[in-house]
Amino acid sequence: MCGIVGYIGNENGVSKVLEGLSRLEYRGYDSAGISYKENSDLKVVKKEGKLTNLESLVSEIKANAVVGHTRWATHGEVNDINAHPHGNDLFSVVHNGIIENAFELKKELKEQGEVFHSQTDSEVFLVLLTKNFKAEKNIKSAVLKTFSQVTGNSSFVILPRDEDNIYAIKRSAPLVCGKNDSGDQLFASSDPYALIGFVENIFFPGEEILCFLSKENKRVEFFDIEGNPSENYQSDKSRKDLKVETKEGFDHFMLKEIYEQPKLINNIAKIYETEYQELKNIKLEDIETINIIGCGTAWHAGLCMRNMFETELKKKVNVELASEFRYRKPYLTNKDMGLFISQSGETADTIACTELCKELGLKLGSILNVKDSTLNRLCDENMMIHAGQEIGVASTKAFTMQVIVGHFLMRLFQGKNPAKEFEKELEVLKNRVQGILDAPELIKKIANSIHSYKGFIFTGRNKYFPIALEGALKLKEIAYVHAEGYAAGELKHGPIALIDEEMVSICLVGPELYEKTLSNIEEIKARKGKILIVGPEEHDNLEELADWFIPLNFEGFEYFSPIYVNVVMQLLSYYIAREKGTDIDKPRNLAKSVTVE
């Protein structure tokens, strides 16, 4: 979603802000802009479309104080005016999130004679800030007052005309600050990834803590909402060794990330063996119900965990979509656990559910990838998936690692050592996944044959049902084609009406419930549907049933065969998208991290 980078220092901030914004491109955006100080004036340049459109306009500009933004539209269409920064002669403001009371505030401000130029909620902050400043004559107190008047989860970074400082503040939205060792380069950003290589020190401010980037004092200072100095922030020096990701010879980040999976599978048990051998803060005997909560792919990973949690842990398990759970007034008690799955740890709906569960006294656990995320700070027990930075908007390696770490959690709940328990099966998984990746030709060929069909139905039973959902999500995300996932047994309850010669059914068949799944495929064949079967290489008649067949070796799997099947789905989507010529790493309309509702 929106990306923010602000700079104040003694070097050219324009190039640094543009470089930082380019690293955040993967998060998804539709316009970009910067504001900078020139002599004693604030200038704003912003442009709809890719960052390169902006770069061509500002590449010659040099300035020591700059704020920049990539916008993912929420309020108001995609155009130059709605792009950020929003500025006037006194302030430039960039914003990430949603101002929930923007409509009422705008109405009041208009009644008072204030003028608005854009359709955005963000401009309300600018207008209110300017009004408050004119009354208070003090920037810090005007920023704090304005922030306390707006509701909703947001981060704001403000460049004032009259000071050589930058102000930044957030509520349940990502915001970090950075400083190099000498303090002559200060940054604010929505993501520490934007600051790699620029600073040695990263600061994570607490909620509603004002960050004051002071050029004169060469440091970041922190204040609470009353304006008093605050210690409510965390600092981290370990980020300075991180690297900016490259495609390493692959055509897309997504493909690179798919190919990283064997290495990640190989490493995870070793990491857990040395770092994490027991649950420190949550005990199984204290829990009655486990609520697994996430969005999109993370929700699918949760679905992969449900059966085994219920069978092995003998607990009631709900798997919930965060956007639904937060509003349906679920019955919860302090004997329940909320288990939140998220790659980014910043997904707005997932965070809102975590906060809801925290208020109600539930035990909170997470399965997540980004260490310094909001989710990490909210939960009692965090299980890291160690997938590394995931740049492709379509989540691939994170899903694989979420499902594996979910299994680790199950064993930790049982007081067992997951690294030892899963050592052999992880070895099988790694080798089988490597086998698929080493010989993608069949998948490519099938992608070439099926890419122009009108639609795709993914079916699976039991543990392959979540993979049918995930396969369909991946395909629609990156290939922009209609694809739906169904439980195979549900077809005849409605979706079978869609079957004809123009519809491809991608049928996931495991050794489990084999005969029953085959009957469902027969039903599709009887209606002249096209059929791609992904199923066991040892079989009786799958090739006769199928128009296309991808054989897999299911020997040696107890738990992880869905992950193995899903790698085929990842490659299939990727190669279909290539045939379609879509923007695979940054598909249209999508954002990597959905930080607004």
Q: What is the binding site for ligand M6R (CB under 6 A)?
A: 295-298, 342-344, 347, 350, 393-395, 477, 590, 593-594
CB of 375 to ligand M6R, least distance (A): 8
CB-nearer residue toward ligand M6R: 295 or 428: 295
The single residue listed with the structure tokens 């934007």 is 194
- Asked whether 239 and 172 are in contact (CB, 8 A), the reply is no
CB of 298 to ligand M6R, least distance (A): 4
Say if strands 65-71 and 289-294 run parallel, antiparallel, or are unpaired: unpaired
Q: Which residues contact 140 (CB under 8 A, 6 or more apart)?
A: 167, 210, 212, 223, 227
Sign of CA dihedral 94, 223, 376, 218: positive
CB-nearer residue toward ligand M6R: 144 or 483: 483
Say if strands 185-189 and 31-38 run parallel, antiparallel, or are unpaired: unpaired
CB-nearer residue toward ligand M6R: 393 or 584: 393
- Asked whether 286 and 335 are in contact (CB, 8 A), the reply is yes
CB-nearer residue toward ligand M6R: 83 or 383: 383
Q: Which residues contact 488 (CB under 8 A, 6 or more apart)?
A: 459, 460, 461, 465, 468, 507, 516, 517, 520, 521
For residue 174, is the peptide bond before it cis, meaning its omega torsion is within 30 degrees of 0?
Answer: no
Instruction: Choose the catalytic residue: 2, 304, 353, 379.
Output: 2
d(CA 93, CA 158): 5
CB of 273 to ligand M6R, least distance (A): 25
CB of 5 to ligand M6R, least distance (A): 20
CB-nearer residue toward ligand M6R: 230 or 573: 573
Identify the H or E element spanning 458.
strand 455-460
Q: What angle do helix axes 296-313 and 397-413 make, rounded to 10 degrees?
A: 20
Burial of 93 (0-12, 13-18, 19+ CB in 10 A): buried
2 catalytically annotated: yes
Residue closest to ligand M6R when measured from CB atoms: 296
d(CA 170, CA 199): 21
d(CA 385, CA 394): 17
| 492 Rama class: left (phi>0) / alpha (psi -120 to 50) / beta | alpha
CB-nearer residue toward ligand M6R: 347 or 517: 347
Q: Report helix, strand or coil for 546.
A: coil
Instruction: Choose the catalytic residue: 16, 397, 474, 592.
Output: 592
- Asked whether 375 and 342 are in contact (CB, 8 A), the reply is yes
Name the residue type at position 358.
K
CB-nearer residue toward ligand M6R: 145 or 474: 474
CB of 557 to ligand M6R, least distance (A): 24
CB-nearer residue toward ligand M6R: 342 or 376: 342
CB of 399 to ligand M6R, least distance (A): 8
- Residue 235's DSSP bridge partners are 203
CB of 429 to ligand M6R, least distance (A): 21
Q: Report helix, strand or coil for 498.
A: helix
Identify the H or E element spanning 6.
strand 3-9
The dihedral over CA atoms of 552, 555, 556, 558, expressed in degrees to the nearest 10, equals 80
CB of 297 to ligand M6R, least distance (A): 3
Over the Cα atoms of the chain, what is R_g?
25
CB of 381 to ligand M6R, least distance (A): 18
d(CA 447, CA 471): 14
- Asked whether 67 and 160 are in contact (CB, 8 A), the reply is no
CB-nearer residue toward ligand M6R: 106 or 300: 300
- Asked whether 550 and 571 are in contact (CB, 8 A), the reply is no
The single residue listed with the structure tokens 């045939």 is 579
CB-nearer residue toward ligand M6R: 86 or 256: 256
- Asked whether 355 and 381 are in contact (CB, 8 A), the reply is no
- Asked whether 247 and 256 are in contact (CB, 8 A), the reply is yes
CB of 478 to ligand M6R, least distance (A): 8
304 catalytically annotated: no
Identify the H or E element spanning 13.
helix 13-23
Q: Report helix, strand or coil for 315.
A: coil
CB of 14 to ligand M6R, least distance (A): 30
Structure tokens at 191: 């993501």
Q: Catalytic amino acids?
A: 2, 592
